[in-house]
Amino acid sequence: MSKRAKGEGSIYPHGDGWAAYVWVTTPSGERKRKYVYGKERNDVHAKWIKLHQAAVRGAVETKSKTVEQYMHYWLQEVIKPNREPKTYDGYERFTRLHIVPWIGKKKLDRLSARDIQQWANKLATVCQCCQQGIDERRLPHKCCAKGECCRKTLSPRAISDARTVLRSALSQAVTDELVEVNRAMQVRLPSGRKRRKKAWTTDEARRFLEHVRTDPLYAAYLLVLAMGLRKGEVLGLTWSSLDLEEGALEPSWQLQRVMGELLHKKKAKTEESENALPMPDLCIKALQARRERQQRDKAKAEYWHDSDLVFTTKFGTPIEPRNFHRYFVGQLESAGLPRISVHDARRTCSSLLVDLDVHPRVIMAIMRHSDFKMTMEVYAQASNEATREALRKLSENFEVKD
């Protein structure tokens, strides 16, 4: 057997298995040994070859990062520069609250499918109020801080979302050649019933619109129910994105509070979200009335915050998304209607369009879904005339006769 070349390393018995090393150059420029381990010699030999190839290509880390260290790198260098702030905020929250506290100290290359399975199982049983000290921040204390655990565990959906964040990070780690396999792909999650999606009937939606007809935000509620706009799209809507003469609306702005900052950004959720929508007469009239009301507010206000926003406070400032939700819930409760969220009201639009026998492709255009499976798994493109007709039919269902 020929002698190995300098820096080639070697393979040798180690404990109950085998080990191998290769001399590598670290990112700091030092020459160090990098080790790999395994039960079978063939497995270690394959790892040794792969490691040797990596050493030839360039710098190699000799110390494995912990899950916490890699998650921090992944969030800052991969997610934050390339994804929406709202996405980064959600990923960071799941990482901080549900991933790092449990498996953050484990070495990334030693993280096994068993570790991840045990972590997922644990999330389903741990009271989040106790884990995060939520009740300790309340005055007066109501449950866990008094020794009366409320057993507020994560929902199956939240556990699935946490696994999705970890799985996405580990996929990047595979790309970065820090791990060979994404072990999160092998995990089974606790089963649970999906939350039944809520929506109003046509009569309930009409009752709500009749109830809020004099509300300053009537046009906003109408855009959600009659045109399926998202909350952020409604609150971020600008006058320059409207053409009231032609009856067209371009929902290309969003208003969101992310990581404590109120962001008004011209970037819609999907490319489809940026397509201009024809507006039915009912919405045009409501927006014209909204513009007149805003002008009256501006004339009365001692101080007015100038902006191009359609929906503002009586001082011209943006409306907080949480406050908009509170206003909406307050109005539906006073109207005696079943409680739904603003997003459920958007869903009401799509369900009512189905009731009106509108073609699924037209519904997709109105709701601006990027994946047609979210609509009815029917693929094509709706014409502008068909979209206008569908919205006209829906608005006529809401029309209140004077």
Would you place residue 396 in the very low, low, confident or very high pLDDT band (cuts 50, 70, 90)? confident
Amino acid 380: pLDDT: 35
Specify the fold of 202-398: hpI Integrase; Chain A (1.10.443)
- Which residues, including other chains, have CB under 8 Å from residue 216's CB and lie 6 or more apart? 290, 293, 314
Beta strands 261-265; 31-38: pairing state: unpaired
Question: 6 and 31 in contact (C-beta within 8 Å)?
Answer: no
**Residue found by looking up tokens 């024809």 in the block:** 278
With 0-12 / 13-18 / 19 or more C-beta atoms within 10 angstroms meaning exposed / middle / buried, residue 244 is: middle
Would you place residue 379 in the very low, low, confident or very high pLDDT band (cuts 50, 70, 90)? very low
Q: What is the largest CA-CA distance in the chain?
A: 98
Amino acid 367: pLDDT: 66
The single-letter DSSP state of residue 29 is S
pLDDT digits (tens, 9 = 90+) for 305-344: 998 999 999 999 999 999 999 999 999 999 999 898 888 8
Amino acid 354: pLDDT: 67
> Closest by alpha carbon to 65, among 26, 25, 107?
107
Span 279-306, average pLDDT: 92
The single-letter DSSP state of residue 83 is S
Would you place residue 175 in the very low, low, confident or very high pLDDT band (cuts 50, 70, 90)? confident
Amino acid 133: pLDDT: 79
Looking at residue 354, its amino acid is V
Which stretch of DSSP H or E encloses residue 295? helix 281-300
Q: What's the distance, Cα to Cα, between the start and end of the chain in Å? A: 98
Which stretch of DSSP H or E encloses residue 299? helix 281-300
Amino acid 312: pLDDT: 94
Instruction: Strands of 86-178 (E only): list them.
Output: none
Q: Which residue has the higher pLDDT, 297 or 349?
A: 297
Span 36-54, average pLDDT: 85
Percent of the chain with pLDDT over 70: 83
> Closest by alpha carbon to 230, among 203, 270, 260, 289?
270
Coil/strand/helix, residue 12:
strand
113-123 vs 156-175: helix crossing angle, rounded to 10: 160
384-398 vs 281-300: helix crossing angle, rounded to 10: 70
CATH 1.10.150.130 fits 67-186, yes or no: yes
pLDDT digits (tens, 9 = 90+) for 63-74: 788 999 999 999
pLDDT digits (tens, 9 = 90+) for 114-154: 999 999 999 989 888 888 877 777 767 777 777 788 888 88
Domain ranges of the chain: 10-57, 67-186, 202-398
Q: Which residue has the higher pLDDT, 38 or 96?
A: 96
Give the mean pLDDT of the chain: 82
Strands of the sheet containing 31-38, edge to edge, are 10-14, 17-25, 31-38
- Which residues, including other chains, have CB under 8 Å from residue 324's CB and lie 6 or more apart? 217, 220, 231, 234, 235, 342
Q: Which residue has the higher pLDDT, 376 or 266?
A: 266
Phi, psi for 263 (deg, rounded to 5)? -110, 130
Percent of the chain with pLDDT over 90: 36
Statement: residue 93 has pLDDT above 60: yes
Question: 398 and 225 in contact (C-beta within 8 Å)?
Answer: yes
Beta strands 242-243; 248-249: pairing state: antiparallel
d(CA 1, CA 6): 15
Span 350-373, average pLDDT: 64
Say how many C-beta atoms besides its own lie within 10 A of residue 211's C-beta: 17
Amino acid 382: pLDDT: 43
> Closest by alpha carbon to 93, among 111, 79, 110, 82?
79
Which stretch of DSSP H or E encloses residue 331? helix 321-334
Helices (H) and strands (E) in the chain, counts: 16, 8
Most trustworthy range by pLDDT among 114-118, 179-183, 272-276, 278-282: 114-118
Question: 375 and 350 in contact (C-beta within 8 Å)?
Answer: yes
d(CA 26, CA 4): 22
Preceding omega of 321 cis (within 30 degrees of 0) = no
Statement: residue 195 has pLDDT above 60: no
The single-letter DSSP state of residue 74 is I
Read off the pTM: 0.66
Span 298-303, average pLDDT: 92
218-227 vs 281-300: helix crossing angle, rounded to 10: 160
